């Protein structure tokens, strides 16, 4: 993801996370941490015929990775794109030498939980009222890193993934 992708990403963001969409400033801030020698974020977009149809981001801190967000356009959900984006994020985690990857997910987001479980993430706890203003709990999931590497999916890519930059920490993670 690059700054010029933000307009399209925001359109998807508002549609897919209507209660707690990230702002333009949040994306800019995230992308600011995705460049240079000290980069500790990586943001990806998936494109089809020049349109962004999915995006995802990972932050690393020490040996821990965090899935910051992952999203697929409604028109492309259930096609395996979420799995391809997550595969790429886990490759990024390996490149950052993360030993574990954590994420938060709304407790009512069954599609996302199924995706994460398929990749070996396990529930480790809850964060009560994490998502506001709806006061929805987050399920915290973790993947320990001897599993963050290759052996998951080697699905073919029908979309082009390209990398980006990053943001700050005030917003609630979507992934
Ligand atoms: C979660 C999300 C990224 C998954 O992307 P996707 O491209 O649909 O993912 P996949 O096609 O790889 O399917 C993932 C799993 O979800 C299941 N799934 C997809 N849509 C579903 C739905 N509406 N209801 C229930 N399960 C669903 C698939 O069957 C698949 O399950 P499996 O792994 O057991 O086969 C996508 O649904 C999305 O963007 N949702 C809105 C944003 C969001 O909630 N992001 C995650 C925040 S934690």
Decide if 53 is inside a domain.
Answer: yes
At 172, is the pLDDT very low, low, confident or very high (cuts 50, 70, 90)? confident
Ligand 1 close to Cβ of residue 115 (< 6 A): yes
Q: Nearest residue CA, atom 1 of ligand 1?
A: 112
Ligand 1 close to Cβ of residue 108 (< 6 A): no
| Cα 78 to ligand 1 centroid, rounded to whole Å | 6
Decide if 143 is inside a domain.
Answer: no
Atom of ligand 1 nearest to the CA of 56: 3
| Cα 17 to ligand 1 centroid, rounded to whole Å | 14
Looking at residue 135, its pLDDT comes to 92
Atom of ligand 1 nearest to the CA of 76: 7
Mean per-residue pLDDT for 87-113?
Answer: 96
> DSSP strand E in 41-135: where?
41-48, 51-61, 64-72, 100-106, 122-131
- Between 148 and 34, the more confident residue is 34
Decide if 117 is inside a domain.
Answer: no
Looking at residue 14, its pLDDT comes to 98
pLDDT at 151 over 70: no
Decide if 116 is inside a domain.
Answer: no
Ligand 1 close to Cβ of residue 71 (< 6 A): yes
Ligand 1 close to Cβ of residue 73 (< 6 A): no
Decide if 175 is inside a domain.
Answer: no
Domain CATH code at residue 49: 3.40.630.30
Looking at residue 160, its pLDDT comes to 40
At 46, is the pLDDT very low, low, confident or very high (cuts 50, 70, 90)? very high
Q: Nearest residue CA, atom 25 of ligand 1?
A: 111
Contact (CB, 8 A) for 71 and 174: yes
Distances (CA, A) of 53 to 79, 92, 99, 125, 166: 11, 20, 29, 31, 19
Least confident range from 36-40, 53-57, 166-170: namely 166-170
pLDDT at 70 over 70: yes
Q: Residue 60: which domain range?
A: 3-103+154-163
Tracing tokens 């967000």 back to the chain, one arrives at 69
Residue 148's SS3 state is coil
How many domains does the chain divide into? 1
At 146, is the pLDDT very low, low, confident or very high (cuts 50, 70, 90)? low
Decide if 169 is inside a domain.
Answer: no
Decide if 16 is inside a domain.
Answer: yes
Decide if 95 is inside a domain.
Answer: yes
| Cα 56 to ligand 1 centroid, rounded to whole Å | 13
């Amino acid at each position: 993801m690059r700054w010029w992708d933000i307009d399209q990403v925001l359109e998807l963001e508002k549609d897919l996370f209507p209660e707690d969409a990230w702002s333009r400033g949040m994306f800019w801030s995230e992308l600011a941490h995705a460049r240079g020698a000290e980069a500790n974020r990586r943001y990806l977009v998936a494109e089809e015929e020049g349109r962004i149809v999915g995006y995802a981001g990972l932050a690393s801190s020490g040996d821990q990775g965090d899935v910051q967000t992952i999203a697929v356009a409604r028109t492309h959900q259930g096609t395996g794109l979420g799995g391809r984006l997550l595969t790429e994020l886990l490759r990024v985690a390996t490149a950052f030498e993360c030993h574990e990857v954590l994420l938060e997910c709304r407790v009512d987001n069954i599609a996302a939980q199924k995706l994460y479980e398929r990749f070996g993430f396990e529930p480790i706890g809850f964060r009560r009222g994490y998502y506001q203003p709806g006061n929805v709990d987050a399920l915290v999931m973790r993947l320990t890193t001897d599993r963050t590497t290759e052996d998951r999916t080697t699905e073919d890519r029908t979309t082009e993934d390209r990398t980006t930059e990053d943001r700050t920490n005030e917003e609630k993670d979507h992934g």
